[in-house]
Amino acid sequence: MPDKFLFAMEVMLNGLMAGVLYSLVALGFVLIFKASGIFNYAQGVMALFAALTLVGIKDGQIPFAHLINAIFGTNIHHFGWHLPAFVAIIFTVIVMIGFAWLVQRFIFRHLVNQEPIILFMATIGLAYFLEGVGDLMWGSDIKKLDVGIPKGMNETIELLTYNRFGYGFFIDNLDIFATFLAVILVTVLVGFSQYTKQGRALRAVADDHQAALSVGISLGYIWVLVWSIAGVVALVAGTVWGAKSGVQFSLSLIALKALPVLMLGGFTSIPGAIVGGLIIGVGEKLFEFLVGPMIGGATENWFAYVLALVFLVFRPQGLFGERIIERV
């Protein structure tokens, strides 16, 4: 088989894997938009904050240590423990639930019935606030995240493809792990949405706030619930991406990778986030591989948006989004 074809296959497979990583971020956006109509600008920063909290708790870092030291002249930094990853994850989930409650209690409770643009603006403010609090709480130095996620080339796939094609494909173990995580996450989310009382309440709120309220569904409770779930999804995304690059401010920029996925998959569809991610991942990787070298490379950032735009022209609601028809 010609080398070029095999290379393209390898690139395509890696594009699929990268797409899953993008989908993990996009899922958080979809959940909140679906339940409340809010485009959560803070989703990327939530991923950063969750990952920072996970590392901080795991390594026994004292929150706000720099601030405490500056005010009281102390020199405290760590509690002196190193928790198992599983325990640290549980504590981080609790923190993200607490964060969801705070967001609902102090921001969105006061913005019920406001225009979507106001709610969007509120999430911009939330993003910058959370960014600052995250820095203040855990410091802005780069942190190594080691929660046991496998990394490096998968030797089985390399061997199998070598035996079959005479060329061993590279697939990162971390990407395979992320794919499994995404499958589990989507299964749980769809199951929760379809088969639980809370899930049905969530869908009812998404359909019609007023009608949901009239049958006794608590809007506040549902919003805390959905922001908590989005917080957990942010933790998953932050952990996977943080394992690649270390936990640092740039993690918040992974949201930029999710936007074309949302444009393509639709803002209200969980399967759309997955399929959109896969299309963007494969599209941008193949374009970079086939066309990039001819035009100077570094095409991925902009090509993802071009691809999403093309889809938008033909399906403005995205591939799986709900079509909005307003009749006069």
Residues that bind other proteins (CB under 8 A): 3, 7, 10-11, 14-15, 17-18, 21, 66, 69, 73, 77, 135, 139-142, 144-146, 151-153, 170, 172, 241, 244-246, 248-251, 253-254, 257, 284-285, 288-289, 292-293, 296-298, 300-301
Q: Are 101 and 95 in contact (CB under 8 A)?
A: no
Backbone angles phi, psi at 316, to 5 degrees: -60, -25
Closest to other proteins by CB, 99 vs 289, is: 289
What stretches of the chain show up as alpha helix (H) in DSSP?
Answer: 3-36, 43-58, 65-72, 85-106, 116-138, 155-165, 173-195, 197-207, 209-214, 219-245, 255-265, 270-290, 300-314
CB 202, min distance to other proteins, A: 31
Which of 94, 108, 91 has the alpha carbon at shortest distance from 221? 108
C-beta closer to other proteins: residue 25 or 222: 25
Count of beta carbons in the 10 Å neighbourhood of residue 270: 21
**Minimal distance, residue 68 CB to other proteins, in Å:** 11
Smallest distance from the beta carbon of 166 to other proteins, in angstroms? 14
Instruction: CB nearer to other proteins: give 8 or 93.
Output: 8
Residue number, 242 or 321, with CB nearest to other proteins? 242
What is the smallest separation between the CB atom of 290 and other proteins, expressed in angstroms?
10
Closer residue to other proteins in complex, CB, 99/241: 241
Give the relative orientation of helices 255-265 and 3-36 as an angle to the nearest 10 degrees.
80
Which residue lies nearer to other proteins by CB, 7 or 221?
7
* Closest to 287 (Cα-Cα) out of 262, 313, 307: 307
CB of 219 to other proteins, least distance (A): 35
Q: Retrieve residue 186's tokens.
A: 């989507």
Residue 64 or 192: the one with the smaller Cβ distance to other proteins is 64
State the nearest-atom distance from the C-beta of 37 to other proteins, in Å. Answer: 29
The candidate with the shortest Cα–Cα distance to 233, out of 39, 50, 100, is 50
Query: The dihedral of CA 27, 112, 48, 307: what is its sign?
Result: positive
Q: Give residue 284's identity as a one-letter amino acid code.
A: E
- Taking the complex as a whole, how short is the minimal distance between the CB of residue 7 and other proteins, in angstroms? 5
